[in-house]
Amino acid sequence: MTRNFQNVRSDANGSAAAAWFVWRGMPEHVIRRKLMHLFRFGNLYYKIIGYKGRELREYPRIKRVTRYFDRTEAAFVVPLGMDPELIKKHEWLFRQMFGPGAELTCGEDSKTFVMQVYSTSVAPFGYDCDQVDGCIGKLRLPIYVGRSRSGDVAYDMVDYPHLLIAGETGSGKSVALRSVLTTLIRSVPELELYCADMKRSEFHLFRGIARDVVVDSAGLHKIVLKLRRELRKRGDLLDRHEVAHVDDLPEWDRPPYILLAVDEVALLKKERDVMDGIEEISTIGRALGVFLILSMQRPDADVLGGKLKNNLTVRMAFRHADEINSRITIDSGEAAAIKQSEKGRMVFKLDGCRYVQGPYLDLKDAYEMLAPYRRAITVEDSDADAAEAAQTPEFEADNTVEVGLL
């Protein structure tokens, strides 16, 4: 009888151990353990000095782990006194632990974070006017980015000025630039658009729509001089009305938004006058309603150094050759992990980084969409541009625009 009791007890212990291993191996508990390891390895904790100088560490508290058919969500709360920016700066660590499908968002209370780990990626999709219009709503200067796993992504350039688009040839950078500008033209008919196509391959689409389309540094130099004069005029306008932003001006005296788009800006790194003008626009253009979209294949540290890079608050990073180039663009190496077959896929940086699939817009379709906005280019237009350029003093290239209220 004793032997039978021992067998029963042994079987019970074996069943309990098996049940414990099954419980421990459940996905929810695996996620919890990985998060705790992540907090420890990444030194994500709040330090408290206790009795006799003993250091106490308080780690984020995991509230819940929930599984859905396409994703797993984990919510955790940082301890009181811990800077939430510390979690945001280590967003790369979450992707390193849980894979590229991990996305991190912070709640309005600045202490609750939700990590979403998706099992599938966003499939490529075509540009759809109705879908885009429904997404951008009433944004003043809408930038339609594309689609993430949580839905369509768009933002207002007036609130987040200037955009950098970077990526290898064939990664989808040119298509994204085409999509962004097409959306802006369709949504903001009064927009004053200037295009500089250093590669002579993309901006022919916008001839007859943009105020000017140039293909060399000399032409861009004239545009920059013109915009610097416009900055000065708008600064004086703000002074007269005693306001700090063009949107605060009375409607009858409010100038339209201006956008300068430059493709392959890296070719301009030796053109210091042009780059100084672009940097000036990036510095004071937001309040004056003048914005930049800069695009390049390979990010160049000489071009994106210092003040200009800091002023480009939003980044679209398509596939990069290596982590060094990726870090120049988005301060992390995630763009180098995008596969060559994943055309249109980008790391979108705005309040953190996340993967987004950009829409595909064929050149022929873009021509048809923009046909109602295209005007015939006449000889009078060319003569007017030449006359305006002739009135631009060359010495203005070295002048500095001073706006007292900015």
| 145-186 pLDDT tens trace | 998 877 899 999 999 999 999 988 888 888 999 999 999 999
Examine the pLDDT at 227 and tell me if it is beyond 80. yes
Q: Of 99, 118, 137, at which residue does a domain stop? A: 118
- 363 φ/ψ angles, rounded to the nearest 5 degrees: -60, -40
- Average pLDDT score, the chain: 82
| 77-115 pLDDT tens trace | 999 888 888 888 888 888 888 877 788 888 878 889 988
Give the total number of structural domains in the chain: 2
Q: Can you give the residue range of the structural domain that contains 352?
A: 129-398
Within 8 A by CB and 6+ apart from 116, the residues are: 71, 72, 73, 102, 103, 104, 105, 149, 150
Q: Of 58, 92, 118, at which residue does a domain stop? A: 118
Inter-CA distances, 191 with 237, 289, 290, 361, Å: 19, 10, 10, 21
pLDDT score for 397: 40
pLDDT score for 258: 96
Task: Put the strands of the sheet holding 71-77 in their side by side order.
Answer: 61-67, 71-77, 112-118, 102-106
Confidence of residue 21 (pLDDT cuts 50, 70, 90): very low
Domain assignment present for 345: yes
pLDDT score for 223: 95
Domain assignment present for 406: no
Examine the pLDDT at 391 and tell me if it is beyond 60. no
Residues 268 and 319 in one domain: yes
Residues 52 and 188 in one domain: no
Whether the predicted model's global pTM rises above the 0.75 cut: no
| 362-390 pLDDT tens trace | 999 999 999 999 875 544 454 444 444 44
Task: Put the strands of the sheet holding 192-197 in their side by side order.
Answer: 151-156, 142-148, 353-357, 345-349, 314-317, 163-166, 290-296, 258-263, 192-197, 212-214
> Percent of the chain at pLDDT above 70?
84
Q: Of 58, 87, 118, at which residue does a domain stop? A: 118
Domain assignment present for 2: no
Question: Which CATH number covers residue 287?
Answer: 3.40.50.300
| 129-142 pLDDT tens trace | 999 999 988 899 99
pLDDT score for 303: 72
Examine the pLDDT at 399 and tell me if it is beyond 90. no
Domain assignment present for 7: no
